[in-house]
């Protein structure tokens, strides 16, 4: 549908303001992320350029996370700027109703919905995986993941093969080929599963260990064994990204796998619903900004309203994470855990608009 003249003007103002706010937030987050990476400099071959590359690859994930917030702030700035110049007053005096204004904002918001969905589905997952792989390679970890037999990792004098890795960094089907200092095979250990205990310690379950001696071989069967290794969840995460940054097909397949094995899948179901619902938050944020445009200048300067938008955006971001955690802890229905923050802010925006309209 062809946008009317005022819609094109409104869209230009909102797009430019949102782009500026997004760039500012990315610069801020990128700076703090880089500061956080400085502690890892010097580990293996990890240098400053590697840290910069790692932070750059994680920026798409940041864009996906903050886009609804920057849409709110950008829309708030653009609308209040138009209100200050009396452009909105002229539009309303010309017969533009609140409903028509809302419809125009929804049309503009569709662009951000599509952009958020596209970034979350097609850019973030491969970028996150590439970032982790680059970081680990620079630190000297050797990882192969394109083999039919699963993940292969070189760990000091051992080679570790993991057949399956779950998104919570649990290991299944573990084989450890240990060599001595003269590169002779010393032992082979096979474990059914392993969980990370922290401090470079793994607990292997249902272990069969074959040790090769000069006069033969010795076989041991152990229920559990604590295994110290440089292999850690960060290294394992090369095979996947966090549930919130997985693609929809990957999340759906893993939820189906957990359900078929009668395992808990609440965290991943919530992430799946959030992936579907989160892009729509751009619409909610833009509608929430409209009541501020209807307020007269005597109720506050643009800077005050933009600050209010920042606080609302931060509140939405925190509420979104809070309901995800509460949903997992309290076994709430995943759909409601994912949609509740957006509904709360939609109702808040509708209430605020109703109040402003009746002043």
* Domains contained in the chain, CATH given: 5-139+241-357 (no CATH), 157-229 (2.30.30)
Query: CA 28, CA 76: separation in Å to the nearest integer?
Result: 20
Distance from the Cα of residue 45 to its chain's centroid: 27
Q: In what order do the strands lie in the sheet with 171-179?
A: 142-147, 150-155, 158-165, 171-179, 185-198, 201-213, 216-228
Q: Which residues, in sequence order, are CB contacts of 248 under 8 Å at separation 6+?
A: 121, 272, 275, 276
pLDDT beyond 50 at 298: no
Helix (H) or strand (E) holding 189: strand 185-198
Contact status, residue 327 vs residue 266, Cβ threshold 8 Å: yes
Helices (H), the chain: 5-37, 48-84, 87-93, 98-118, 124-138, 233-236, 248-260, 266-277, 281-294, 302-330, 334-357
Q: What is the model's pLDDT at position 241?
A: 65
Average pLDDT over residues 277-282: 95
pLDDT beyond 60 at 1: no
Distance from the Cα of residue 216 to its chain's centroid: 52
Q: Which of 130-139, 155-164, 222-231, 301-310 has the weakest average pLDDT? A: 301-310
Query: 333 in helix, strand or coil?
Result: coil
For all residues of the chain together, what is the average pLDDT? 86
Distance from the Cα of residue 4 to its chain's centroid: 36
pLDDT beyond 80 at 349: yes
Q: What is the model's pLDDT at position 148?
A: 65
pLDDT beyond 70 at 203: yes
pLDDT beyond 50 at 280: yes
Name the range with the highest mean pLDDT among 20-34, 162-176, 251-265, 299-313: 20-34
Q: Provide the percentage of residues in the chain whose pLDDT is more than 70.
A: 91
The structure's pTM equals: 0.78
Select the more confidently predicted residue: 118 or 359: 118
Average pLDDT over residues 35-53: 89
């Amino acid at each position: 549908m062809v946008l009317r003249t005022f819609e094109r003007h409104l869209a230009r103002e909102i797009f430019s303001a949102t782009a500026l706010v997004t760039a500012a937030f990315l610069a801020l987050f990128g700076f703090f992320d880089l500061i956080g990476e400085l502690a890892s400099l010097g580990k293996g071959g990890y240098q400053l350029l590697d840290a910069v590359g790692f932070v750059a690859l994680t920026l798409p994930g940041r864009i996906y996370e903050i886009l609804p917030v920057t849409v709110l702030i950008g829309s708030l700035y653009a609308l209040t700027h138009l209100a200050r110049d009396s452009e909105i007053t002229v539009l309303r005096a010309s017969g533009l109703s609140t409903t028509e204004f809302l419809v125009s904002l929804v049309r503009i918001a569709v662009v951000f919905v599509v952009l958020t969905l596209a970034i979350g589905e097609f850019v973030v997952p491969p970028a996150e995986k590439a970032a982790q792989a680059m970081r680990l390679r620079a630190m000297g970890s050797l990882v192969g993941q394109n083999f039919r037999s699963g993940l292969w990792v070189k760990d000091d004098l051992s080679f570790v093969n993991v057949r399956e890795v779950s998104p919570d960094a649990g290991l299944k089907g573990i084989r450890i080929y240990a060599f001595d200092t003269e590169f002779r095979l010393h032992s082979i250990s096979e474990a059914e599963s392993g969980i990370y205990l922290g401090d470079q310690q793994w607990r292997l379950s249902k272990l069969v260990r074959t040790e090769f001696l000069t006069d033969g071989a010795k076989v041991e069967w152990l229920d559990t064994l604590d295994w110290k290794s440089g292999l850690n969840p960060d290294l394992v995460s090369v095979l996947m990204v966090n549930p919130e940054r997985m693609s929809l097909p990957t999340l759906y397949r893993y939820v189906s796998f957990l359900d078929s094995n009668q395992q808990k899948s609440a965290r991943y179901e919530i992430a799946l619903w959030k992936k579907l619902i989160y892009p729509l938050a751009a619409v909610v944020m833009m509608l929430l900004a409209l009541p501020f445009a209807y307020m007269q200048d005597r109720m506050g300067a643009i800077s005050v309203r933009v600050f209010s938008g920042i606080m609302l955006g931060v509140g939405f971001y925190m509420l979104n994470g809070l309901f995800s955690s509460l949903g997992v802890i309290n076994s709430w229905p995943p759909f409601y855990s994912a949609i509740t923050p957006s509904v709360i802010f939609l109702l808040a925006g509708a209430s605020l608009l109703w109040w402003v309209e009746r002043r």
